A and B are shown apart, each in its own frame.
Chain A
Amino acid sequence: MKARVIITLKSGVLDPQGQAIEGALKGLGFDGVEGARQGKVIDLVLADTDADAVRTRIAAMCDRLLANTVIENYTIDILG
């Protein structure tokens, strides 16, 4: 089973990389960019076949390694 983990910075956490991206977009002349936040995508391939079990296992992986929950949130998408 394939799953995608999306890791984003919590709101309120300073994101200097996002700010640099926003600045660069403005520098290229893209008007109306009101914010940019960067994050990570991790695609996993797991032997499990049960979507609920996969979701539970990936949540544990996020809590223990994939995300730092002091500053990051994560979402899990089961891709089938």
Chain B
Amino acid sequence: MICPSCSFEFDPSRGLQCPRCGEAIDCSEIGCANCDACNDVFQQVTRRIRSKS
């Protein structure tokens, strides 16, 4: 995943915070097509719901 703030490419499976600039990536800011943090569609849905709450 490429951080939308500092463009650093990092592995989202370790967490959705950019390790370089510290930006916490929100599912509402970056679509699933640009991110491979989730293992399956259930995790995608769960994470999206959490990001909205």
A and B: real partners?
no
Chain B interface residues toward A at CB < 8 A: none
Chain A interface residues toward B at CB < 8 A: none
